[in-house]
Amino acid sequence: MSILKSSVEKKMGLALAGLFLVFFLFVHLAINLTLIYPGKEAFDAAVEFMATNPFIQLMQPILFLVFAFHIYMAIYLELTNRSKRSVKYVKNNPGANSSWVSRNMIWTGLMIFGFLLLHLYNYFLPFKTQNISDHYELVISLFKNPVYTFIYVLAFVALGLHLSHGFQSAFQTFGVPREKCNRPLVICGNIISIILAVGFSAIAIYFYFN
């Protein structure tokens, strides 16, 4: 990444991409909610809109690029950072000074990435390549599979954990004054995490039992 020369610029790029993805997730959740309310017709209309609206068509490749950039940069920074300490501590007690979530962003991130691939394979590919007559049915049918629903919920728990650190961390990276803003940002990050994790999971669990 020759444009983002310094480590600080790389982190800012990662953070900006992350915040864009949070915005996308809210749009996605709003569409998913139409599965339950108002129901099938609204969902099919939303799918139709997403498949044909020119603005959405423009945003789709941008979204792909942002995902790819966020994942690439996160893995790149993680590997670079790991290479900075060749000899590890014999005894280390990181739990004394930092949260598990903040130290394991790469693992919660990779879990979400794994789920993303599965999700694209299950929905995005059939939507794009096959002539699906009933989108609603395709979505609902997968939630009847207990293994899929379990993986789905697990991925969104990972997402919630990821954002509970990532959201406020992104603002710290942009230099937002910490004294005044940190507490509201942490609270806001936690609320966003809960809305997204519970929102997506609840829809899956609802259809599993109904």
Partner 1 sequence: MKLNLKIWRQNGPNDKGRMVDYKIDGVDSDMSFLEMLDMLNEQLIAKGEEPVAFDHDCREGICGMCSLYINGEAHGPDRLTTTCQLHMRKFKDGDTIYIEPWRANAFPVIKDLVVDRSALDRIQQAGGYISVNTSGRTVDANNIPIPKKDADDAFDAATCIGCGACVATCKNSSAMLFVSAKVAQFAKLPQGRVEAADRVQNMIAAMDAEGFGSCTNTGACEVECPKGISLTNIAILNKEFLLAQTK
Binding positions for partner 1, rule: CB under 8 A: 6-8, 10-12, 77, 80-94, 96-99, 102-103, 105, 165, 168-169, 172-179
- Rounded to a whole number of angstroms, the minimum distance from the CB of residue 73 to partner 1 is 11
Q: Between 57 and 99, name the residue whose CB sits nearer to partner 1.
A: 99
Taking a C-beta distance cutoff of 8 angstroms, is the pair 56, 49 a contact?
A: yes
Rounded distance, CA 136 to CA 120, Å?
A: 16
Q: Between 4 and 142, name the residue whose CB sits nearer to partner 1.
A: 4
Q: Concatenated DSSP letters for 110-133?
A: HHHHHHHHHHIIIIIHHHHHS--S
- Rounded to a whole number of angstroms, the minimum distance from the CB of residue 176 to partner 1 is 6
Q: Between 49 and 72, name the residue whose CB sits nearer to partner 1.
A: 72
Taking a C-beta distance cutoff of 8 angstroms, is the pair 164, 190 a contact?
A: yes
Which residues fall within 8 angstroms of residue 82, CB to CB, at 6 or more apart? none
- Rounded to a whole number of angstroms, the minimum distance from the CB of residue 113 to partner 1 is 17
- Rounded to a whole number of angstroms, the minimum distance from the CB of residue 85 to partner 1 is 5
